[in-house]
Structure 1
Amino acid sequence: MTINFSTIKDIDIKQLENLYNDVGWFAYTQDLKVLKQAVLQSLDVISAWDNDKLVGLIRVVGDELTIMYIQDILILNAYQNKGIASELLQQMLIKYNNVRQKVLLTEEASDVRHFYEKNGFESCDQGSLVAFAKMN
């Protein structure tokens, strides 16, 4: 299996729908026009491809100078645990190395915590930071 990476934001909506639905992120696929626009308006997007099949994606929002917020990082279930998510994350972290704040909000699960900690993130409940969120 050879995975190729792309920074093209204009990804076919059916490919996006398949990826988001496969990982159970159905809130994103309720309105595909909004999902497509959100991807296009992201600060940056790196996608992972197995030939012409979208298998993963990371997208960030922010100002490119002081904050980078990792909005989405997702991999098709059949492609998980193959290092693709780590590669996507590392590519983005290298690209925005000079940005001071690199932030993400995710669900609590041991495998999720392990993934981000092994990639250099510190949970706010473990360090000196505090995090707040308001979800609709």
Structure 2
Amino acid sequence: MKIDFSNNKSVNKEQLVKLYNDVQWYAYTRDVDVLQHAISQSLDVISAWDGNNLVGLIRVVGDGLTIIYIQDILVLNAYQNQGIATQLMQQILLKYGGVRQKVLLTEEAPDVRHFYEKNGFESCDKGSFVAFAKFS
């Protein structure tokens, strides 16, 4: 299987719904027009494709100079543990290597923690970092 990567922010709604619903991120698919608009307004988007099928996506917001925020990184369940998320992450980290702050917020799970730590991220519950978030 060969996975192709694209920097095109135009992804059709059906493909987005399939991807986001597959990983149970239903809050995003309640209003697919907003999701599609958010993707188009992102600083950067890299998508992963198996032929014509969207199998993964990473989305970054921020100024691209002093801070990036990795908003979304997701891969279809059937394609997980094949290195696709790592390739998506590495492409972003390479592209924004000179950016001092690379931030993301995610839910706690052992495999999630391992993935981010192996990609060079430190948890804010360790060391001298602190993180705050407000959800509506």
Query: Under a length normalisation based on structure 1, what TM-score does the superposition of the two structures give?
Result: 0.99
Partner residue of 1:22? 22
Q: CA deviation at 1:92?
A: 0.3
Partner residue of 1:40? 40
> What residue ranges of structure 2 are gaps of 5+ in the alignment?
none
Question: Does residue 1:56 correspond to 2:53, yes or no?
Answer: no
Give percent identity, aligned residues only. 71
> What residue ranges of structure 1 are gaps of 5+ in the alignment?
none
Report 1:68-87 matches (<5 A): 68-87=68-87
Equivalenced residue count is: 136
Q: Which AA in structure 2 matches 1:8? A: N
Partner residue of 1:112? 112
- Measured in 2, the distance between the counterparts of 1:64 and 1:111 equals 28
| Structure 2 residue matching 1:16: 3-state secondary structure | helix
- Measured in 1, the distance between the counterparts of 2:127 and 2:12 equals 40
Which whole-Å deviations, capped at 9, do the CAs of 1:10-48 have from their partners, x for residues lacking one?
111110010000000000000010000000000000000
- Measured in 1, the distance between the counterparts of 2:14 and 2:96 equals 29
Which whole-Å deviations, capped at 9, do the CAs of 1:56-106 have from their partners, x for residues lacking one?
000000001100000000000000000000000000000001110000000
Partner residue of 1:92? 92
Question: Does residue 1:9 correspond to 2:45, yes or no?
Answer: no
| Structure 2 residue matching 1:69: 3-state secondary structure | strand
Q: Which AA in structure 1 matches 2:103? A: V
Structure 1 residue ranges, 4+ long, deviating more than 4 angstroms after superposition? none
| Structure 1 residue matching 2:55: 3-state secondary structure | strand
Query: Under a length normalisation based on structure 2, what TM-score does the superposition of the two structures give?
Result: 0.99
Quote the RMSD (CA, aligned, Å). 0.4
Which whole-Å deviations, capped at 9, do the CAs of 1:83-130 have from their partners, x for residues lacking one?
000000000000001110000000000000000001110001112110
